[in-house]
Structure 1
Amino acid sequence: MSKRTWALIAALTVSIIYGVSFTIAKDVMPTYVKPFGFILLRVFGATVLFWAVSFLGPKEKIQTKDFPRIIAAAFFGVALNMLTFFKGLSFTSPISGAVIMVTTPIIVMILSAVLIREKIKVRKILGILLGLIGTGFLILYGKSIGNASNASLGNLLVFINAVSYAVYLIVVKKLMDKYNAFTFVKWIYTFGLLMVLPFGWNEYQEIQWATIPTHILWEIGFVVVFTTFLTYLFNLVSMRELKPTTVAVFIYLQPLFATVFAISLGKDELTWVKIISAVLIFVGVFLATKKKS
């Protein structure tokens, strides 16, 4: 398989993991672990894992002038991104949260055109619009799952997270072109850990580990290992071969996978609206990621 095919598979895997994680994270929060306490757990666990596997990469030294970009990537890709997302998800429903994330490709497309002068093809714009229509159908006419205690605030925080992630995808691209992923991702998470520590420490101390059921502990482990550690590695693999706008388009698949997972658990039902939405999303992603022969 070509490097581009591997990159597309990596991006697809990230979307599946994230789609499943909306419901899993909602199981944990806020009943057993509060949002910021959960973020601290995530980032600390992932930081340890990234340092543990960093020897797999080549021995490279990061130039001092690149550390400001790494700190910016830590702020937008770890701290602001995760804090607003988990806090927002604790207020809104999993599918609503997943659908708001689909604004990211639009934001990335605008920022890429402005900041890195990326040319946007008509086919990619059409693909992004089709994906947006599909996800819009899903949110307007598809039955949502989960309780939403303060949906408008939750949705706003998830939108801030989407903007933050869009900025991260563009900021990290130059690091990808210069270094191996293992060289800098451990530093992104180390700085990210320092940033989230003041927000998450109090909520982390409130966790009653003895009263948490075993299945919830497994779900916490899933979020640390899969949703944080593996997705960041896979995202970096995909970004080495794909443009930020192409990687961002895969976010359209997250609401779809979130809905499929909810249906499989019996928390949602399959309707014609969801089927039509799924077709529009898949066609949109195909058009946006298809490379001209």
Structure 2
Amino acid sequence: MRTTYLKLALTAFFWGGVFHLAKYSVGHLSPLAIGAWRFLSAGLLLVPLVYWREGLDWAGLRRNALPLLAMAVVGICAFNLALFYGLRWTSPVNGALIMALTPALTVLLSALLNRDAVSRRQLGGLALGLAGVGVVVSHGSLAALLALTFTPGDALVFCGALAMAVYSSIPRRYVHGLTSLQISAATVGLGGVLMGGAAQFLSADFYTLPPTGVIAAIAAMSVFASVLAYMWWNDGIAKLGPAKTAIYFNLVPIFTALIGIALGQPPSGAQLAGTVLVIGGVLMSTRPAPKTVAAHAR
């Protein structure tokens, strides 16, 4: 189980890096072109990998075609396009704060769709995580947090958070008899095909050769933030459930801030305090509940 937790933390790290890579890339290519090339290349890597490791369960894929298609449309296409277009029109601070709503939205959707019980420990971890993200994005200032203004880009990022929550909640109830690898390959591959088809007609720069740095950024997002991240995220959902897995999304803005530090932005006390709160929330939510020992005295 520790390996699962480590993989989810690394997934959050990879997705935290997407904020920086996407912000750089959208200055040279449209978000649709970036998303299309990211997931087309991810699908070309992931589908053969799954075929080599366990084969493709064609019967299971056909049986679950509708929920897998819904996951591809919502969790691959809608999530990434909403995030990338949103980053064009909003600040990283607002984006990080809004994306931090993903775990809360996932817990609510999972409770509604899957009838999952939400424990006090999970709620406490969720509250700690949200508090930590709030401290980071507001630099520890309540006045700064209250003074935040929201733009159309913020609405798009919120749609992205909701899309990821839906993606995480679907498999538990609607996908049956498929491994997490099969689900990852199907949703990433389908998402790449759908975005590539749309880019053919809607993105004038789909066939434009971007600078080498943008190619490297798309490659990194494809391998780390798509192939590995979606494999590990779906594996976490299968093993821990959507509510516990979603808590790790709180680490995304923390890693975004830490990567910014590595790029030359000095750390602040608020960032350090927020990081501690978020990590504490993750540990609280994923720690097994203590077993009750009944005493039998006669």
- Relative to the length of structure 2, the TM-score reads 0.86
More displaced stretch, 183-192 vs 234-243: 183-192
Listed as ranges, the matches of 1:176-191 within 5 Å are 178-191=177-190
Q: Per-residue deviation at 1:198? A: 5.0
| Per-residue deviation, residues 47-103 of structure 1 (Å, max 9, x unmatched) | 211222122124533344421111111111111111111111222233432331110
- Cα deviations across residues 194-227 of structure 1 (Å, max 9, x unaligned)? 4323542343635542x61x33321121011111
Percent identity over the alignment? 24
Secondary structure, in 3 states, of the residue corresponding to 1:256?
Answer: helix
**How far apart in 2 are the matches of 1:50 and 1:275?**
36
Aligned to 1:154: 153
> Gapped runs of 5+ residues in structure 1?
144-149
* Aligned positions, number: 280
Give the equivalent residue in structure 1 for 2:247: 249
Q: Which residue in the other structure is 2:11 paired with?
A: 14
- Contact 2:96-2:137 within 8 A present in 1 as well: no
- Once residues 257 and 107 of structure 1 are traced to their aligned partners in structure 2, the CA distance between those partners, rounded to angstroms, is 20
Aligned equivalent of 1:53, options 49, 68, 72: 49
**Secondary structure at the residue paired with 1:62?**
helix
Q: Does 1:165 align with 2:161?
A: no
Q: Relative to structure 1, is the Cα distance of residues 109 and 204 closer, same or farther in structure 2, using a 3 angstrom cutoff?
A: same
- Check conservation: 2:17, 2:256, Cα contact below 8 A: yes
- RMSD in angstroms over aligned alpha carbons? 2.2
One of 247, 264, 269 as aligned partner of 2:266: 269
Q: Which runs of 4+ in 1 moved over 4 A?
A: 174-177
Q: Which moved more, 1:95-104 or 1:4-13?
A: 95-104
Cα shift at 1:262 = 0.5
Equivalent position of 1:26 in the other structure: 23
Q: Is the 8 A contact 1:46 1:229 kept in 2?
A: yes
1:146 aligned partner: none
Q: Unpaired segments of 5 or more residues in structure 2?
A: 142-148, 291-298
Quote the residue 2:146 is aligned against. Answer: none
TM-superposed CA distance for 1:162, in Å, is 0.6
